Amino acid sequence: MASYQVLYRKYRPKDFSEVVGQDHIVSVLRRQIAHNRVAHAYLFSGPRGIGKTTVARLIAKAVNCTLYDGEGQSVAAWKAYERDQKLGGHEVIPVIGKDKERPCNRCDSCLAFNAGHALNLIEIDAASNRGIDEIRELREAVRFAPVEGRAKVYIIDEVHQLTKDAFNALLKTLEEPPSHAMFILATTELEKVLPTIVSRTQHFDFRRPRETVIRERIAKIAAAEGVRLEADAAEAIAFVAEGAMRDAESMLGKILAVGETSVTRADVEEILGIPKREALRALFGHLGAKRLREALELLNALYFGGYEMEYLAKMLVGFFRDALMAKTAPGAAAAGADAAGKGSLLPESGKALADELGVWSASELARAIVLLVEAIEASRRSPIPQLPLEIAFITICSNEVAKTS
């Protein structure tokens, strides 16, 4: 049986032009690589699944790319640039055409990186290698130059999980790194990284891609797999992914595994357990009218129908947020949604929108959002999946709490 490769690995970017949603970072890194001005240490921060490790691997591949070694024009330009710097001359940045951009994906080094067996790429998970002993071993290994290639690149993922002693040991290496070594640290919790570590790296803050970017990306992947992904279906996946490109690609892989040649929003909702928009609007109406019994009955019908409660809670937060913005600052809300590339679950008709929002005050909507966000956090620990939402619904519909809020 032929082995199946998950989509986020199959379509992982092989050069910087394929990285989406991080243009502010990629443009800087491409220029640094083209000018041979890469740093000895980088720190990538941001939410999970948005490309930190992917970009780190591309840097490692680029600095070890060898296609233009020897008599290549680009290498000659770099050598002239370095010589000029040593002589104290003016900076003459070598210009490299797009056809000579690194990584080339054709030399032996790039092919080894693409195949996953590059000797100069060392990836370390700080969650399981967090102690000082592991960092001491790393410091010993760093001393040795690479057998082939230009640099050993160490990617330390979730670096914030290192112990304080391990951080201090790593700091010594970052202060005086060997010329053949490069470190790329990645974290989802920047505030836990020691300031002394941050100050010795070039820090890049990765952002969540806009929903439009995610929709375009997964539609392109689906087309490459011979599947037509309807716009509504792509929108549903992008909404649930919450800016995590890797999650969106994983969800798409789950959907495509069913074997359909065309995917609709209904298919996505069924396979991923995403509640339908009509159910969200019904819950919004029940809660606004304080129809607690109907809201709880619908909630339990959704749960026993196989829908994910965490998805439901997150979509309700989005729904209530859209409602709050539409009630308090409709012009700004529409502009913000367009800028973020987000769709809205609210009705587009003015009368229908007014009817749905009329029973809510702005303070009630804000209070409901707080309760729903708390329900999302509690749902990850609750032995009864729907219980946090049930409590939130009861509190939202409680007249006593509403009067004292």
- pLDDT tens, residue by residue, 16-59: 999 999 999 999 999 998 888 899 999 999 999 999 999 999 99
Q: Which amino acid is at 395?
A: T
Q: What is the pLDDT of residue 139?
A: 84
Residue at token pair 């002589």: 87
Question: Per the structure block, which two tokens stand in for 127?
Answer: 């969650």
What domains sit in the chain, N to C, each tagged with a CATH number?
7-67+102-205 (3.40.50.300), 211-272 (1.10.8.60), 277-404 (1.20.272.10)
Q: What is the pLDDT of residues 117-149, one digit of tens each?
A: 888 999 998 877 777 888 888 888 888 888 888
What average pLDDT does the segment 306-320 reach?
Answer: 90
For CA atoms 19, 21, 22, 24, the dihedral sign is positive
Instruction: Say whether pTM exceeds 0.85.
Output: no
The values of phi and psi at residue 183, to 5°, are: -120, 135
Question: Per the structure block, which two tokens stand in for 241?
Answer: 């992914």
**Taking all residues of the chain, what is their mean pLDDT, rounded to a whole number?**
84
Give the list of residues 6+ apart from residue 89 with CB closer than 8 angstroms, or none.
Answer: none
Task: Give per-residue burial for 21-38: e unless 16+ CB within 10 Å, then b.
Answer: bbeebbeebbebbbbbeb
- Statement: residue 69 has pLDDT above 50: no
Q: How much of the chain exceeds pLDDT 90, in percent?
A: 50
For the chain, first and last CA: distance in Å? 61
Q: Which amino acid is at 70?
A: G
Beta-bridged to residue 43, according to DSSP, are: 185, 203
What average pLDDT does the segment 254-269 reach?
Answer: 89
Q: Which residue has the higher pLDDT, 94 or 307?
A: 307
Q: What is the pLDDT of residue 143?
A: 86
Q: Which amino acid is at 63?
A: V
Which span out of 74-78, 91-95, 258-262 was modeled with the highest average pLDDT? Answer: 258-262
Q: Interior CA angle at 112 toward 225 and 5, to 5°?
A: 25
- Taking the C-alpha atoms of residue 281 and residue 329, their distance in angstroms, rounded to an integer, is 21
Q: What is the pLDDT of residue 336?
A: 52
- The pLDDT-based confidence of 255 (bands split at 50, 70, 90) is very high
Question: Per the structure block, which two tokens stand in for 106?
Answer: 């054709």
- In three-state form (DSSP H/G/I as H, E/B as E, the rest C), the secondary structure along the chain is CCCCCCHHHHCCCCCHHHCCCCHHHHHHHHHHHHCCCCCCEEEEECCCCCCHHHHHHHHHHHHCCCCCCCCCHHHHHHHHHHHHHHCCCCCCCCCCCHHHCCCCCCCHHHHHHHHCCCCCEEEEECCCCCCHHHHHHHHHHHCCCCCCCCCEEEEEECHHHCCHHHHHHHHHHHHCCCCCEEEEEEECCHHHCCHHHHCCCEEEECCCCCHHHHHHHHHHHHHHCCCEECHHHHHHHHHHHCCCHHHHHHHHHHHHCCCCCEECHHHHHHHHCCCCHHHHHHHHHHHHCCCHHHHHHHHHHHHHCCCCHHHHHHHHHHHHHHHHHHHHCHHHHHHHHHHHCCCCCCCCCHHHHHHHHHCCCHHHHHHHHHHHHHHHHHHCCCCCCCHHHHHHHHHHCCHHHHHHC
Q: What is the pLDDT of residue 340?
A: 45
Rg (CA), the chain: 26
The values of phi and psi at residue 385, to 5°, are: -55, -40
- The pLDDT-based confidence of 212 (bands split at 50, 70, 90) is very high
Instruction: Give the closest residue to 57 by CA, choosing from 186, 208, 190, 199.
Output: 186
What average pLDDT does the segment 237-256 reach?
Answer: 91
Whether 207 and 242 have beta carbons less than 8 Å apart is answered as: no
Q: Worst-scoring range by mean pLDDT, 148-152, 218-222, 387-391? A: 148-152
Q: What is the pLDDT of residue 6?
A: 85
